[in-house]
Homo-oligomer: A and B are copies of this chain.
Amino acid sequence: MSMNNNYELYKVFYWAAKTGSLTQAARALYLTQPSVSYAIKQLEDSFGITLFYRNSKGVSLTQEGAVLYSYIEQSQILISLAEEKMVALKNLDSGELRIGGSDSLFKHYLLPYLEDFHQQHPGIKLYLNHGTTPEIIAYLKEGTIDLGVVRMPIADPLLEVRESIQLQDCFVAGGRYAKLKDAVLSLDMLLQYPVILFSRNSRARMAITELFQSYGYLLKPEIEVGSVDLLIEFARKGLGISYVTREFVAKELEEGSLFEVQLDVELPPAHVGIMIMRNMPLSTAASKFMKLVE
């Protein structure tokens, strides 16, 4: 009558109808037979409708019981699927991981971790979202990505930033400037050469510009490019001296197609930070990935 049913009763009803036996339903639900009997009675009383015929070999649905079952069966199946799905999400057999960052960080820093993670959890879909630092922060705040990988420092009260590895930016040149290989340049000497920098809105660009400024110099690039690859490529071709992250040109430095230009001042180190939303729980996949990186 009251129609304010405990949904638990439907679970009992489902198993009673499915097995055709209150005793078997009790076994399936880890209950005793009287409990099941009681639950079914409750459900019947609440509707004012008899749902089962009771006979000596079990129970069978009445006309009305069969109607109810046609709905409840679907409903219970959905719940079972939901529970399976949640286990899968928990076990990282399924789900998604959405990361924001710059192309270069993806390629030179995150790639090995991503490969590792993907191998461990092939069921997790990876979404890599690249953009500038402000864009990444915006994505994070609107929930489009789970975490962002950017250069420090980040000072946003809504964000929690975990410092990761330290990178060292430096100036590199190719064979055309081989004479500089063993020299130690001052900043103003460097400015005699064409400099290639990353585009204006990058944090590395801002950092080095400020450094020159603090010594009273104006750093004005000859060439400005939009990707680390081009930065490397142009330096190798001898178009100028590129300001890049040393770790990102490790291969080129080793094989000798690029060499580092020594300076008489120390360049500031760059820290990579992993940003997440403060006070917001991470998805299982995201927190697992964070652990992997640490």
Complex interface: stretch among A71-79, A189-197, A248-256: A71-79
Contacts of A11 in B (CB 8 A): 7
Query: A122: CB under 8 A from chain B?
Result: no
Q: How many Å from the CB of A79 to the closest CB on chain B?
A: 5
State the main secondary structure of chain A at its contact with B: helix
Query: A63: CB under 8 A from chain B?
Result: yes
Query: A293: CB under 8 A from chain B?
Result: no
Q: How many Å from the CB of A255 to the closest CB on chain B?
A: 43
Query: A89: CB under 8 A from chain B?
Result: yes
Contact of A3 among B53, B71, B83 (CB under 8 A): B83
Chain A: interface residue total (CB-CB under 8 A): 41
In the complex, are the beta carbons of B49 and A86 less than 8 A apart?
A: yes
Contact of A68 among B48, B50, B72, B86 (CB under 8 A): B86
Known interface pairs A8-B7, A11-B7, A86-B47. Does A71 touch B64 (Cβ–Cβ under 8 Å)? Answer: no
Query: A283: CB under 8 A from chain B?
Result: yes
Contacts of A8 in B (CB 8 A): 6-8
Q: How far is the CA of A10 from the CA of B11 in the complex (A)?
A: 12
Query: A218: CB under 8 A from chain B?
Result: no
Contacts of A155 in B (CB 8 A): none
In the complex, are the beta carbons of B71 and A283 less than 8 A apart?
A: no
Q: How many Å from the CB of A3 to the closest CB on chain B?
A: 6
Give 1 or 0 for each of A80-115: 1 = CB within 8 Å of chain B CB: 011101110110000110000000000000000000
Contacts of A280 in B (CB 8 A): 53
In the complex, are the beta carbons of A64 and B6 less than 8 A apart?
A: no
For the complex of A and B, the 5 pairs showing the least CB-CB separation, nearest first, are: A71-B82, A50-B281, A75-B78, A7-B7, A75-B75
